[in-house]
Amino acid sequence: MKKNSVNVVLLISVLLISIFGIIMIYSASYVWAEYKFNNPFKFVINQGVFFIIGVVFMMIISHIDYKVYYEKSNLFFIICLILLILVIIPGIGSVRNGSRSWFGIGSFGIQPSEFTKLSLIIFTSKYLVNNERIIGNFFKGVLPILGILFLVFGLIMLQPDFGTGMIIVMSIIGLLFIGGVDFKFFLKLGIVGLFGIVGLIVVAPYRLKRIISFINPWSDPLGAGFQIIQSLYAIGPGGLFGYGFLNSRQKHFYLPEPQTDFIFSIISEEFGFMGILIVSILFLTIIYTGFKISRSSNNLFGKYLAFGITFQIAFQAILNLMVVVGLIPVTGVTLPFLSYGGSSLLITLCSIGILLNISRSQK
């Protein structure tokens, strides 16, 4: 790749999937938006505003040397840490869907945990570069970054937001793995994590209901299993080409707020297998290109940063799709680029801007 050239494949793929996401947000939300707000365009307008802002930021960031994040990583992380503390304070943070994880600004909301996902990847990438020689040592190399990781996870769980916390943990573990940490460590960490998940279930019994509904959604069809059942009812009849754009049945007050976590179900219902195929191709193109940028980077910080961003997008997408088709319990994780959520779209586009800049630095 020539120096200073933008990665056209990545840019076009991101724009296409984001625009398709806005179109599908309108299709999935206009019934609910008209009923609740008397405005069928309520959600699509909000998302459109964040999309325009996000694209502007993405293009600006694509021209900013990514090495500046190496110098400012500590500052970014401290700011995000402060925001995570402020958002859980009653009167400052807003409660939505049972989680105090938002700063409300009029009809818009900003979720600091979304910004924390990127800042922690930047911070960890710098940490791996600075501690390359001792990262194989658990106490000197791994334990300090794990302490920071679980501090962030703990603050997010106070909201609570288990899905975002899980994405952050797995993204950092992925970075540590390619950073040279012994694989045996991850096996031990997995055992500890299993006990931790059991503890989280004991503390919050509603999570146990989600697991039971995952195993057998029809055991509580009007309660914990309702979303999974309605999602499967949307995906099942889609066939090859689906019912057609705007013709979903499940969005008519069957699938709750389908423009968010379960937007893929509406895509499947309206566009069938072809819709699934197109979305999958766009995601695979973005992920493959991101990993290729990471592999081709001649700077170690850029290599880690590109990998962390790409891995996080890939893991979040896979996690959402597994929930939608009933492979894992409901986690409340959005589908990158497609689900309604201004903070998620904005920070994802900013992350892509960083990837574009890393690709520009490659000869």
DSSP 147-200: HHHHHHHHHHHTTT-HHHHHHHHHHHHHHHHHTT--HHHHHHHHHHHHHHHHHH
* Residue 312 counted as domain residue: yes
Report the pLDDT value the prediction gives residue 208, as an integer from 0 to 100.
66
Report the pLDDT value the prediction gives residue 330, as an integer from 0 to 100.
77
Residue ranges of the chain whose pLDDT lies below 70: 1-4, 97-98, 105-108, 197-198, 200-214, 224, 363
* Residue 2 counted as domain residue: no
* Residue 3 counted as domain residue: no
Residue ranges making up the domain that contains 29: 8-360
Written as one letter, the residue type at 59 is M
* Residue 63 counted as domain residue: yes
Report the pLDDT value the prediction gives residue 108, as an integer from 0 to 100.
65
8 Å CB contact between 177 and 183: yes
- Tell me which H or E stretch contains 99: strand 99-105
At a CB cut-off of 8 Å and minimum separation 6, what does 323 contact? 261, 329, 330, 331, 333
Task: Write out the two tokens for 2.
Answer: 């020539």
* Residue 241 counted as domain residue: yes
CA atoms within a 13 Å half-sphere pointing along the CA-CB vector of 327 = 7
* Residue 113 counted as domain residue: yes
* Residue 305 counted as domain residue: yes
Report the pLDDT value the prediction gives residue 1, as an integer from 0 to 100.
42
Report the pLDDT value the prediction gives residue 200, as an integer from 0 to 100.
65
Q: Rounded to whole angstroms, how far apart are CA atoms 126 and 63?
A: 20
* Residue 101 counted as domain residue: yes
Supply the pTM of this predicted model: 0.90
Q: How many structural domains comprise the chain?
A: 1
